[in-house]
Chain A
């Protein structure tokens, strides 16, 4: 094993350290979002998703009244059918996209819409 000066120098290089730190922070951030994703879905929704439907209708509750940015984001994954207070009605959204939406930290919760099942 060569523990010569070159090998140690490479690891201590400022750019390598900076990029490693940036990547670590990014990984931690995304990891946290990934892990807390399911906790934002209600039990009802999770039960429904476990049945493996093609699309579901959900109610997305943010921690504040959604703004243009959030509505735009939600519209990209499903049919927006109106906003009441902090809750947006999102219809015909695939389970994969439901999981994608759940991984945003500004979401308080995602619930199954009362009129789910009707296409």
Chain B
């Protein structure tokens, strides 16, 4: 193989060239890899695979040596079996669906409310400076802290959890949109005004595109917060879902289900963030980012 691993460089093309050279230094290359395999090797994929194997092995060893493993740390195998069991009994898809449903509905409404609010408040300098501290204040009250109040008002209904998700989701995106609108360079607005544009035209053609990167970033932040709020809301308000699953499993000492739930939460967030939210954000910044300073 290559005599020494190539250094990670900023530009992928350069690194691939380095790797090419390292691998094909000899007259007869011993290994011919596809582009995907080369990327895997270059970005430390082998290390990651080894690390995962090591972690699983350590986990299995620890759980085999402690007393009462099924209470304190079930082995990876039992977690897998428990997931199979829950799938077989149709419990897992139902709970997953409910949590995702709450997340989607709550965050969509929150974002749909937050974007117009941010734009409206950001239009005027005085209005935005007026609202900034109180938005800050309400953002420091996390949705979780609001949950007891909502539970007094609305009991342990679906409305409570949706309310928490909505509240948690609203402020990050309102803030981000506000900042985005405020930081659009005035020169663009002035240019349009000299060309005789109406206020609405300015909003549509300068402020909304200028706020697009902030909207994308704010949406990603909001959905992240909303995800956490959904899990916490389910645990506290007792609505069925993944959060409720791990909470009730803890009460009957089904640790395998708890660990399964935690792994699911992590995997779902990673999937959502990496494949749905981050591409939108980077794409929006690529496309509209030139408006920013």
Contacts and interface: CB of A to CB of B under 8 A. Distances in A.
Judged by CB atoms under 8 Å, the answer to whether A and B touch is yes
B275 A14 contact: yes
Nearest to A106: B90
Interface residues of A, number: 15
A70 interface: yes
B36 interface: no
A17 to B, nearest CB: 8
Interface residues of B, number: 13
A3 interface: no
Interface string B264-278: 000000010001110
Contacts of A19: 276
Interface string A1-44: 00000000000011100110000000001000000000000000
A105 B93 CA distance: 11
A105 B90 contact: yes
Given A13-B283, A15-B280, A69 B275 contact: no
A15 B210 CA distance: 22
A100 interface: no
A106 to B, nearest CB: 4
A40 B89 CA distance: 16
Nearest to B275: A18
A34 to B, nearest CB: 15
Given A13-B283, A15-B280, A70 B275 contact: no
Interface in A82-100: none
Interface in A70-119: 70, 73, 104-106
A15 B279 contact: yes
A106 B276 CA distance: 31
B88 interface: yes
28 contacts: A13-B283, A14-B275, A14-B279, A15-B276, A15-B277, A15-B279, A15-B280, A15-B283, A18-B271, A18-B275, A18-B279, A19-B276, A29-B93, A63-B88, A64-B88, A64-B89, A67-B89, A67-B91, A69-B91, A69-B94, A70-B89, A70-B90, A73-B94, A104-B90, A105-B90, A106-B88, A106-B89, A106-B90
